[in-house]
Amino acid sequence: MNTLPSGLYLVSTPIGNARDITLRALDVLKEAEMLIAEDTRTLKRLLTIHAISRPLGDIMSYHDFSKPKRFESIMRSLEAGKSMALVSEAGTPLVSDPGFKLVKGAIEKEINIIPVPGPSAMLAALTISGIEPDRFVYLGFLPQARGARKKVLEEYRFVQATLIVFESPNRLESSLADMQDVLGKERMASICREMTKRFEEVKRGSLGDLKKHFMQEKVKGEMVIVIERDRTGKPEMDITDLLSQALRNKSVKDAVSEISGMFNLPRKEVYSLALKLSANRENK
């Protein structure tokens, strides 16, 4: 008899080693009325490893390209009071993983959403990188096009936080080249691949050294790149430009919060600059 309360469960799964699943996640996989996964084959393998038997009708696929009918079907089931588990391909749901639309839809319909925490490639890489973990920005997968990729890196170049990026092996070399060009070849970084698996590897060094290393060594498997924050300091002119841009579509309060947090600057100083910029704009 199913005793799991109704709602949408967000179930984290192992990023490599199948034993890294939580006991609570196993309970949800056994008891939820319906399991939802981006790739049902991956989910079925995980169920088999942990000796969980589920009828094929209890498992459905859902991804970014699913038809609207699939989304509507899931919403109707949730509204009807079913317990449904959104299971990540690997790691934590929604982190470079589909499902955001489902969560938004559930919130709009006031359906209970229950996190089932567990493995996270991003956090695992951060903790073993040797780079400050106190403040970080997750950028996900960078754009494939070089111009767009460089634009993103420029945007976060001077942010006073550790940067975390996911990357595929076929784009690693070009991405490292762009990181070196935009962020500087001396900036320290860590590249983690195959985490929790047999051939787990972590390479640490400057972006310049890492680029040279991976030009000579071809690797497999997705990886996490952790990059230290800027140490050179952001020119005042650039802060002024960014604050001006923020003021175009944000209130003074929100713009000040964004820029002061981004560059770890005193709010009072940024607020004073924001007032000057606002006054100059009104006088034009």
Closest by CA position to 30, among listed 17, 47, 42: 47
Give backbone dihedrals phi and psi of 142, rounded to 5 degrees, phi first: -70, 155
Rounded-to-integer distance, Cα 7 and Cα 115, Å: 10
Rounded-to-integer distance, Cα 224 and Cα 263, Å: 24
Closest by CA position to 193, among listed 162, 168, 229, 159: 168
Structural contact between residues 189 and 225, judged by C-beta atoms closer than 8 angstroms: yes
Name the burial class of residue 190, with classes exposed (0-12), middle (13-18) and buried (19+) by CB atoms within 10 angstroms of its CB: buried
pLDDT for 284 equals 60
The pair of three-digit structure tokens given for residue 119, joined into one six-digit string: 């493995």
pLDDT for 148 equals 95
Sign of the torsion angle spanned by Cα atoms 181, 183, 188, 189 = negative
Strands (E), the chain: 7-11, 34-37, 59-61, 83-87, 113-116, 136-141, 162-167, 188-193, 201-206, 223-227
Closest by CA position to 235, among listed 263, 271, 269: 263
pLDDT tens, the chain, 284 aa long: 467 999 999 999 999 999 999 999 999 999 999 999 999 999 999 999 999 999 999 999 998 889 999 999 999 999 999 999 999 999 999 998 889 999 999 999 999 999 999 999 999 999 999 999 999 999 999 999 999 999 999 989 988 899 999 999 999 999 999 999 999 999 999 999 999 999 899 999 999 999 999 998 888 888 999 999 998 866 544 788 888 888 988 899 999 998 888 777 888 889 999 998 888 776 66
Structural contact between residues 156 and 140, judged by C-beta atoms closer than 8 angstroms: no
